[in-house]
Amino acid sequence: MDKSLIITRDLVKEYRMENYTVTALRGVSLDIAAGEFVAVMGPSGSGKSTVMNLLGCLDSPTSGDYVLAGEKVSEISGDALAAIRNRRIGFVFQNFNLLARTSAVENVELPLLYSHCPAEERRSRAMTRLAEVGLADRAHHQPSQLSGGQQQRVAIARALVNNPVLILADEPTGALDTHTSFELMGLLQELNRGGMTVVLVTHEHDIATFASRIISFRDGHVVDDQRVERPADAREMLQALSKEAAHPS
Amino acid sequence: MTWLASIRIALRALRVNKLRSTLTMLGIIIGVAAVIVMIAIGAGAQARVEEQIKALGSNLIMLLPGSVTAGGVRMGSGSRNTLTEDDSYAIQREVRDVQASAPQLRGTGQVVAGNTNWSTVFYGVTPEYFEARNWVIASGKGFEPADLSGAGKVALLGETVTRSLFGDADPIGQVIRIRKVPFTVIGTLQRKGQSLMGQDQDDVILMPISTARNRVLGGSTARLRTVGAIFVKVREGADMADTEAEIRNLLRQRHRLQPGAEDDFTLRNLSEVLGAQEASSRIMTLLLAAVASVSLLVGGIGIMNIMLVSVTERTREIGLRMAVGARGRDILMQFLVEAITLALIGGLLGTMLGVGGSYAIGHFAEWRTELNLQSIVLAVSFAAAIGIFFGFYPARKASRLLPIEALRYE
C-alpha cells in the first residue's frame, strides 16, 4: 500500500427502488493522498453526492473497497462506522446544519459528546477551534444571531474539533455570497496548508479553482481527474474583490 | 454519552418547545393527580371504617332477644324479653374466652339541665360495658360498685350531650334531670364519632343498669331483669366461632330449649359485618385508582404522539448527530430520556397537584382523605414507566433512521 489516505477500488453503489434499480456509481477507483485539496465536480445525477456519502462513511457501497487511513471501512457498518465518522471525518454541509437555539460553542462540542470527552476538555477544545476560525467572541451566540458566513465557520470549527484526518465539504459555499464564499475558501486553503486533507463537492467552477486537484463525475464514472498547477489563492481573490468594490470601474 | 449529558440535551429540547411540552405533560399531570386524589379518597373511606371498627371494639358479639310470634305474626328480633342480666353474668363467668360481657338497657327521654333541655338515648350498663364497647372516660370517674348495688343516681355524658346541655362549661358535679329524675353528672365520655350507619354515637348518657331499671324505666322490666342487648367482647386471638358456639349452648341451656327448637335470641358477630364493609371500601379504592389510571394511560399516549411528531420534526438534527458520530443507541437514549423526563416532570407536578387536591377536597368537601407515600411513589413510578413504554417506539424509530436520508430530509 502507498501512503494514500483514501483508496477506493471499483466502488459501486446501487439504490433499489420498488421495481427497478438505480446505479449511482459504476466502479469508481480513486487515490487521494494526505494533504491534498480535492474538488469533486459534476452535474446533478453524476454520482458526486453518492461518492461523498461513501467517502464520509454515511453509507456503505454495494460492492468495491474503500480504505480510509489504512482501515478497510467498506466492510464495517453501523456503530463502528459511527465511530469512524466521529474520529476520522469532519463534515461541512451546504445548509450548515447547526442545532438551532444552541450556542456556537455547544454546536462545536457536539462530536466530542459522542466520543466520551469530559465536559471541561470539551469546552476548552471547542473554544480553541472557535478561536481558530475567528469566532471566539461569538461563542455564546445562537446560530440565528450569526451571519451565514459565521455559521459556516462554526460548522468548520465543529468539523475540526475531534482532530479528523479528512474534511468533507458538501457544497459549503452554496448558501453564501461571493465575498463570504471566498473568505470560507480561504479558511479551507489555510487548513489545507496546515496539512489537512480536504475533499470539496461543488458545481461552481470558480470555487473548484481553489483546489489542487479537480475530479469530474458523469453518469457514475470519473470522467476527468487533473491536477491544478497553481490553484487560485482565495485571500488574493478576496483582496481583489474588495478593491473592485472600493473603486468600481 | 453520559446520562447527565443526555438529560441536559433532553431538558434543552423540552425548553425549546415550552408550550408543547407543557401540554404534553398536562396529560401526565392530570393522570398522576387523579390517581393520588382517588387513592386518598378511597384510603380516607377505608380509614373511617377502620376507625369505626376500633370504636366498636374488635371481636365483638352482640346478643339480641328473640322474636315474638303472636297468631302467626312474627315481631322481629328484640320483641321478646328473653335475655336477662343474669344471662350476661353467666356468660362472663362460664365462657372461657370472654373478656367482658355487658348487658345494656336502652331508654330515651328528655334531659333537662338548668334552663336547657335535650332529647337523647340513655343506656343502663355495668362497668364491663366500658370495656366491651371501648368507651373511654374523658373526665371525671366511672361507676362505683355502690352505684350499681344501690341504684345510684349518677350519669356519664357523651360528648354531644355535654355540648348540648353545658356548652363549654364543666358538667361534672352538675345535676341533670332524666325523665324528671335528678342525676349527678360524675364524668364525660371520650368522643367516638359517627357509627357505620351515620348515627352520632356521642349523643348518649350512661347510667348504672339498676338505676335505669328501677328509677327511670320502671314497669314490668323491673320484675323480669330483662335487658335489651348483651355485648360480649372476646379475648384477642380466641377462636370466634368456638366462642360463639359456647355462648349459644350456654344460653340454650339456661333458657331450657329442647334440641331442635329455634334459638330465642339472635347472635351477631359485628366485627364480621364491619370486615365486609372494609373489604368493599377497599374494592372501591381499587376501582377509583383503576379509573384514574386510565387517564394516566391516555397521558402516556399523548407523550408518544408528541414524541413521534418531534422525531419527524427533528429528522435533520438526528441526521447531523449521526454524521458527527452518534450511534443508533445514542439517539435512542436521547429520545427515551426526553420522554422519561417529560413523564417524570409531569409526574412530579401531578404529585403536587394531587397532594394539594387531596387537602382541598378534605377541607372544602369535608370528605376524609388519607394521603400515603405508597400511592405517590406508585403514581410517579407508573408515570416514569409510561414514559419508557410510550417513549420507546418513537425513540427506536429515530435511532433507525439512515444518516444520509435523515440529513437530506426536508
**Among the partner residues A59, A83, A158, nearest to B404 by beta-carbon distance:** A59
Between A and B, how many residue pairs show a Cβ–Cβ distance under 8 A?
Answer: 64
Q: Which residues pair with B181 in a beta bridge?
A: B178
Give residue-wise pLDDT tens across range A190-203. 999 999 999 999 98
B321 touches chain A (CB under 8 A): yes
Q: In this structure, are residues A123 and B5 in contact, taking their beta carbons and an 8 Å threshold? A: no
Percent of chain A with pLDDT over 90: 66
Tell me the angle at which helices B315-323 and B270-313 cross, rounded to the nearest 10 degrees.
70
Minimum distance, in Å, between the CA of residue A114 and any CA atom of chain B: 6
User: Strands of A213-218's sheet, edge to edge?
Assistant: A89-92, A166-170, A197-201, A37-41, A213-218, A221-227
B11: which 3 cell numbers? 431538558
Instruction: Give me the pLDDT at residue B69, please.
Output: 61
What is the number of other CB atoms lying within 10 angstroms of the CB of residue B17?
A: 16
Q: Write the single-letter amino acid at B128.
A: E
Domain layout of chain A by residue ranges: 36-53+78-246
Homologous superfamily (CATH) of A36-53+78-246 is P-loop containing nucleotide triphosphate hydrolases (3.40.50.300)
A123 touches chain B (CB under 8 A): no
What is the rounded CA–CA span in Å between residue A57 and residue A84? 7
Minimum distance, in Å, between the CA of residue A88 and any CA atom of chain B: 10
**Among the partner residues A78, A91, A100, nearest to B323 by beta-carbon distance:** A91
Instruction: Give me the pLDDT at residue B219, please.
Output: 62
φ/ψ of B225, rounded to 5, equals 55, 25
What is the rounded CA–CA span in Å between residue A161 and residue A155? 10
Best mutation target, A17, A58, A79, A112, to test chain B (most B CBs within 10 A): A58
Sign of the Cα torsion A157, A161, A166, A169 reads negative
| Residue where the block lists cell 473568505 | A183
B204: which 3 cell numbers? 348518649
Least confident of A58-62, A147-151, B55-59, B359-363: B55-59
With beta carbons under 8 A apart, name residues in chain A contacting B11. Answer: none
Using CB atoms within 10 A of its CB, is residue A123 exposed (0-12), middle (13-18) or buried (19+)? middle
What ipTM goes with this model? 0.92
| C-beta atoms of B324 and A85 within 8 A | yes
Q: Which residue has the higher pLDDT, B284 or A125?
A: A125
φ/ψ of B48, rounded to 5, equals -65, -45
With beta carbons under 8 A apart, name residues in chain B contacting A53. Answer: 404
Mean pLDDT of chain A: 90
| Average pLDDT, consecutive stretches of 10 residues, N- to C-terminus, chain B (410 residues) | 75 83 89 89 83 71 76 61 86 89 90 90 91 87 87 91 89 90 92 76 91 80 74 84 90 87 82 76 85 86 88 91 91 89 90 92 84 85 87 91 85
Highest mean pLDDT of the ranges A13-22, A216-225, B82-91: A216-225
Assess whether pLDDT exceeds 90 at residue A101: no
| Residue where the block lists cell 378534605 | B362
> pLDDT grade, residue A1 (50/70/90)?
very low
> Please, which residues have CB within 8 angstroms of residue B164's CB and are 6 or more apart in sequence?
B116, B118, B120
